Chain A
C-alpha cells in the first residue's frame, strides 16, 4: 500500500509526500506514523504557518490532532517549496512550542 499523497495547501500550492520519504521518516521516528492520515489536513487547514527566514522552509502547525503521553502538542509538518511553487514534505514531528519566524498563516 502506498502512503504518498498530494494535497493543495492553504496557500493554493501543491505539496507532495512520497511513499519512500514517509517510510524512511517513520522508521527512525517512533510515534509519528499514526498521524499519517491527518497530515493533508495539517497542510490544507493549519492553525499557524511560520516561515523560517534562514532556510525558507514553511512550518505548518495544527493543535488538535496530536498528544504525546499526557502533553497536548502541535502536529508540525515541515514543507520545502521548490522555486516557491510546488512543495514537498521534508519532515513531520510533534512539537510543544512554536519556533518564532515569519508568520504566513493566518495571513497577518
Chain B
C-alpha cells in the first residue's frame, strides 16, 4: 500500500463510480413506490437508515460525508441509504431537511394505510432530493 494516496485520482475514480451508480438508477422513484420504503432514525447514533423493499446485503458507498448509498453489488441498484449525523445534517442542509420531511410524510401515509397518489409524488420527490444532494457533493 502506498504511503500517500493520490486524492486527485481517488476523487476522479469516485466521481466516475457515482455516475455509474446514478446511471443504473433512473427507475429509483418507481422502485421506491413499488417496493416501499422504511426509515429508522437511531437517536443514539444519530444515523438515519432508509431501506427500499426488504433489507439485503449491500455495498455502502459515500456520496458526501453525510450521505451513503446502499447498493446491490451486481446491478448497482440503490437498495437504501444512510445519513450520518442525520439531525445535524438536516439543520445544516435544506436537502437533508426535505429528505427527513418526506420520510416523515411517507410514514404518516403508511400509518393511514394510504397508497394514495400523493405517496407516488413523495417517492419522486425523495429520488429527486437524493440526486440533488449527490449533484451538490
A interface list, Cβ under 8 A from B: 20-21, 24, 28-31, 47-48, 52-55, 57, 68-69, 71, 73, 76, 78, 90-91, 93-101, 103, 106-108
Contacts and interface: CB of A to CB of B under 8 A. Distances in A.
Given A48-B5, A100-B7, 19 more contacts: A21-B44, A24-B42, A28-B51, A53-B65, A54-B64, A55-B84, A57-B65, A68-B57, A68-B73, A71-B59, A76-B60, A91-B47, A91-B82, A94-B58, A94-B60, A100-B14, A101-B65, A103-B4, A103-B7
Interface residues of B, number: 35
B10 A106 contact: no
Which label, helix, strand, loop or mixed, suits the secondary structure of the A interface? loop
28 contacts: A21-B44, A24-B42, A24-B45, A28-B40, A28-B49, A29-B55, A31-B57, A47-B1, A52-B65, A54-B64, A69-B74, A73-B59, A90-B84, A94-B59, A94-B60, A95-B61, A96-B59, A96-B61, A96-B73, A97-B17, A98-B10, A99-B14, A99-B61, A99-B62, A100-B10, A100-B11, A103-B7, A107-B3
Contacts of A30: 55-57
Contacts of A101: 65
A97 B57 contact: no
Contact of B5 (A29, A78, A103): A103
Contacts of A78: 84
B61 A97 contact: yes
Contacts of A28: 40, 49, 51, 55
Contacts of A53: 65
A20 B44 CA distance: 10
Contacts of B85: 55
